[in-house]
């Protein structure tokens, strides 16, 4: 016990399995370092955190939301991943927006505000009438060289006639 009896230090004989539920309990026979009864009994549980060394990068949050509609054509796209990414792999070849109306990738700038976040800022408005897809290839990797699963998701579909101004871009919180 540490911190004047307020903290119990667990030292397992072998590492716990990532994601495992660990339950614990004590009886009245738990003694402090001066051999005084420390508790009349207590219990609790915790989950073991997963290892980021083998975590496959997956999208955990997106702004605009995946499959969203009514997203302005001048939106900024913000994606958070389950694990930190290798910045050298955050390139238009490995993660990009595709405009189904033009049949072309959307020209954009890329940045990483956080180690697990990718910000994609189109250099001009995206199509107001087409589906915009996000493509992530296996070339996008975590900092421990684990590749993303190859995936794509519909991001937005705009209705014709919506008007938005290119000077009102705002990054929305994820």
For 77, the token pair is 């796209």
Q: What pLDDT sits at residue 116?
A: 93
**Would you give per-residue pLDDT tens digits along the chain (174 residues)?**
566 666 777 788 887 777 778 888 777 666 666 777 666 666 777 777 766 677 888 888 888 887 777 778 888 999 999 889 999 999 999 999 998 888 999 999 999 999 999 999 999 988 777 788 888 988 999 999 999 875 656 666 554 433 333 333 344 444
From-to residues of CATH 2.60.40.1220 in the chain: 59-168
Q: What are phi and psi of 87, to 5 degrees?
A: -55, -30
Q: What pLDDT sits at residue 69?
A: 73
C-alpha distances in angstroms, 172 versus 51, 77, 119? 30, 9, 11
Q: What pLDDT sits at residue 24?
A: 80
C-alpha distances in angstroms, 116 versus 75, 135, 144? 20, 17, 12
Closest CA to 2 of 56, 40, 38: 38
Instruction: List, for residues 63-100, the tens digit of each pLDDT value.
Output: 888 777 777 888 899 999 988 999 999 999 999 999 88
Q: Which fold has domain 59-168?
A: Immunoglobulin-like (2.60.40)
What distance, in Å, lies between the first and last C-alpha atoms of the chain?
40
pTM, two decimals, is 0.62
8 Å CB contact between 55 and 83: yes
* Rounded Cα distance, 102 and 85, in Å: 30
């Amino acid at each position: 016990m540490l911190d004047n009896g307020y903290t119990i230090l667990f030292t397992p004989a072998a590492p716990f399995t990532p994601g495992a539920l660990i339950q614990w309990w004590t009886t009245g026979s738990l003694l402090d370092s001066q051999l005084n009864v420390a508790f009349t009994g207590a219990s609790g549980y915790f989950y073991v955190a997963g290892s980021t060394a083998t975590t496959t990068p997956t999208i955990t949050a997106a702004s605009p939301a995946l499959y969203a509609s009514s997203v302005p054509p001048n939106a900024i796209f913000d994606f958070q991943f389950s694990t930190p990414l290798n910045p050298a792999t955050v390139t238009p070849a490995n993660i990009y927006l595709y405009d189904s109306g033009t049949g072309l990738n959307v020209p954009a700038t890329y940045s990483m505000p956080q180690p697990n976040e990718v910000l994609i800022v189109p250099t001009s408005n995206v199509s107001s009438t087409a589906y915009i897809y996000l493509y992530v290839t296996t070339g996008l990797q975590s900092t421990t060289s684990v590749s993303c699963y190859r995936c794509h998701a519909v991001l937005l579909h705009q209705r014709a006639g919506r008007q938005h101004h290119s000077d009102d871009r705002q990054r929305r919180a994820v």
